[in-house]
Structure formats: structure tokens, C-alpha cells
Amino acid sequence: DGGITQSPKYLFRKEGQNVTLSCEQNLNHDAMYWYRQDPGQGLRLIYYSQIVNDFQKGDIAEGYSVSREKKESFPLTVTSAQKNPTAFYLCASNNRANTGELFFGEGSRLTVL
């Protein structure tokens, strides 16, 4: 079945460690996105990519990094520079860059101990 797969679903990290969240899609979508959800904050855009080997910062990119080496993959690294990394992270993709319906993965819950 086509869709977006995020892994791991739950992740614990010690302070000062980097961690990478995986996002893979087999929908043949050009654009991919990373959002962060915090209670009462809605969904905030971290990074997005419209095409392979290109990506742009979203509204809250500080402390995060991404890569887009393959069309189907868009991993997110939460670095030690991210001051408040505990959150629910959502990956999404769509067929038209930057607009239209987004298809979301199941999310990854990161907890920093």
C-alpha cells in the first residue's frame, strides 16, 4: 500500500545527543515536509523540500537539519542545539509543491531525558 512511513514511533534521547527521525514515502510525491506538534501549538513547519537535493527552512528550523538525497526519503536530525526537542514530529508529502492536500505519516514521539 502507498503511504508515508515514519520511524521510530517512540524515541528517547539524552540531552546533548543528536537523533535522526526517518521518513519514507512511496507515493511518488515531489514535496516532503517536517512538522512539529506541541500541545496547544498546532503544527509548525520545520523544513520542507520540493525536489531532490533541495530543501528550505520552515518557521522553526533552528536546531534541526535535513537531507533529501532520494525522492522517497527525507530524514530529520534533531541536534543538540535544539533547546526544547521533546515533541511529536510529523512527516508529510504532497504532489504539488507547497500547496494542496498533505498526506501525513503516523508521527514520531521524541522524548529527551
Partner 1 sequence: DQQVKQNSPSLSVQEGRISILNCDYTNSMFDYFLWYKKYPAEGPTFLISISSIKDKNEDGRFTVFLNKSAKHLSLHIVPSQPGDSAVYFCAASGTGANSKLTFGKGITLSVRP
- In the complex, least distance from residue 2 CB atom to partner 1, rounded to whole angstroms: 14
16: which DSSP letter?
Answer: T
Q: Shortest approach of partner 1 to residue 69 CB, angstroms? A: 22
Q: Is 1 in the site for partner 1 (CB under 8 A)?
A: no
Residues touching partner 1, count (CB under 8 A) = 26
The CA-atom distances, in angstroms, between 49 and each of 17, 92, 110, 111 are 25, 10, 22, 25
103 binds partner 1 (CB under 8 A): yes
Convert 67-101 to b/e letters by CB count within 10 Å (16 or more is b): ebeebbebbbebeeebeebebebbbbbbeeeeeee
Summarize the chain as % helix, strand, coil (round to 5): 0, 55, 45
Q: Is 4 in the site for partner 1 (CB under 8 A)?
A: yes
Stretch that binds partner 1, among 12-20, 69-77, 79-87, 91-99 (CB under 8 A): 91-99
- Would you give the binding string for partner 1 spanning residues 20-59, x where CB under 8 A is met? ---------------x----xxxxxx--x---------x-
